[in-house]
Chain A
């Protein structure tokens, strides 16, 4: 495999990882707030914080990892995206900063603050919306290069049907992924009342998720026909994704095997995300950056891949340890352990 392709695959895997772990986090923040205003917080919020507290920082690192890796492997993305995304990027950063620090203030510092929970819940929906603009922009049509400067066409973005369909997909899938995960976690915790609530969330958010996915297909056809046609070549990926979706929802509907159901949710997004990604190639940012033109020099590319492999030897065992302690340790999940 070419080094460029390895580079983009590595980055795409990390973005996928972020998509899953961050969705759980973002959605959980919203559900925690929703639970609070509907007076169900005593039922669901303990399982939410039991999962989130040890991992929220790790979730954040996935994001940092992705953008540092992107600039490392494809330095010219820094030039185009950097100039174009100053405003949306800064807003996303401020939201992320509020969210992360207020989570810590609320959970490790003072207990129970309505303001913190509200901010945590609200930012959970705004961040995916603002981060998804980066993906929207990669389709082209929202950036122009005039006299050597990159100009971000804000008006274009706000009036585009495509960009709004992506925002819609981002928000509903966050809620769907999160609810599906919380089903698994509540089931593991043998917390039946909580399970009953999050199961309803999961089933409720599944139809909009699949609806939004179709909407994005349609909108992309109008926005970037070339990419849309490429996607048709990989249509089997999207069919597989749809099958996984059905299995996952069916399992939750039948009220059994939540762990398997969540694996199918992950597969559903895996196929859709990689189908989308592979059909986007060779463009990183249409039409300015391709895999060839944007890639860093050969030497740095190899150094980064070596560093990445070496890093994985450190990361994977650590992540497994983390999961064993807070995801698969029945005593911890059920809350029988003291902090």
Chain B
């Protein structure tokens, strides 16, 4: 197969590793915040339910962290192994945030170790809670730093290219490039959001299976309130991201929206399919909404794909990914709002079967939205590895062994994913919350 050259295979292997890693990375960024929150409420209200919640989440979290750490190590090294020419160039400009990310990771790793093994060591329970704070800071900061690296690839700034040589480097400008604010906040907020819904989904599943008791009710309420807050913030930041795209990467937005002709008062296309003549069929057209998304003004002009050379635009299938991501995001806002409304209303039933089943679905859906969002963002900047500076094919390795390495890592991730799931299931089935709570009561 001639088309499977090193560059294509390198892209496949990188997406495989990242696609697997971000499941665990997302939980790694979001779950510590929820654990810390639950423990804090538990201490403040002297409520052992919340403290048990923090403990049980932590126990499962460690297993996912392990997979996150090792797959993160993989992607970290694969950057140099698969993209040596890219790293040689980019390393000179974005070495700083990459380096800082490992500091944040180091910080988190140290305190996570301490947190895990000091549950009953201190007389004052706030001391143990305090140790969770650096874990939250470390995980969020590492998400921030690594997002700035990705933002740089979308908006390379802070250097000049002269005859293939990089000059006049300004590390901070490269790090705080125009894409950084929206990218980093969207990544962090959606990681919090997804973690909240994943934990809510597990709780809802347990309520459906075992009926609701105090412990599960508190867990559901805590995760759904957090989920609501982060769903709103993610949606707002998502809107800013759209405006960023319109300004800095108009061809990415145009490809995502199947917006071919430059026009004022552009319609937003939702769903639909593209037939072989390039006609959009079966789509829902929302008048002037694309102009609102892009510029906050229903009559603003939105640049269409026709303005760009065809070989410099992304594949048009990213439209589906964009719609799925936004669709799931909207669903999560509506679902958590519905829960809160049922909870507040005297006659409402926040534990109705249909609502719980939707919550169970929301966890995997949120994770899917993360994947869709990443694929959209990454494929959307093709053919560039460095936006308008370096093409992806020029950054890849020339080694002939990428294909077999792909199979090797594919096997690894299958094994890791499978055993990780089995271990988590065994861990919680063998030791249900009810028995653990009784044991706590007896002490």
Contact = CB atoms under 8 A, between A and B. Distances in A.
Q: Do A and B bind each other?
A: yes
Interface of A: 53-55, 57-58, 60-61, 63-65, 67-69, 71-73, 75-76, 78-83, 85-87, 89-91, 93-94, 96-98, 100-105, 108-110, 149-150, 152, 296-297, 299-300, 303-304, 307-308, 311, 314-315, 318-319, 321-322, 325-326, 332, 337-339
A322 B74 CA distance: 26
Interface in B74-108: 74, 76-85, 87-93, 95-96, 98-103, 105-107
Nearest to A91: B408
B67 A57 contact: no
B106 A61 contact: yes
Contact of A82 (B87, B99, B112, B419): B87
B109 A61 contact: yes
B66 interface: yes
8 contacts: A75-B92, A81-B80, A86-B402, A89-B81, A100-B69, A104-B67, A149-B398, A339-B116
Interface residues of B, number: 75
B102 A109 contact: no
Name which of B72, B103, B134, B166 has the most chain A CB atoms within 10 A of its CB. B103
A318 B133 CA distance: 13
Given A54-B116, A83-B399, A109-B426, A315 B84 contact: no
Name which of A79, A82, A94, A296 has the most chain B CB atoms within 10 A of its CB. A82
Name which of B85, B92, B424 has the most chain A CB atoms within 10 A of its CB. B92
B73 A93 contact: yes
Contacts of A69: 99, 102
Q: Is the interface of B mostly helix, strand, loop or mixed?
A: helix
Interface stretch (B117-125, B232-240, B366-374): B117-125
A334 B211 CA distance: 43
B19 interface: no
Given A64-B105, A71-B80, A108 B59 contact: yes
B202 to A, nearest CB: 16
B110 interface: yes
B412 A98 contact: yes
Given A54-B117, A82-B84, A100-B69, A90 B409 contact: yes
Nearest to B120: A338
B107 A314 contact: yes
Contacts of B107: 314-315, 318
B398 A108 contact: no
Contact of B103 (A53, A299, A311, A326): A311
Contacts of B72: 64
Given A71-B87, A90-B409, A98-B412, A61 B116 contact: no
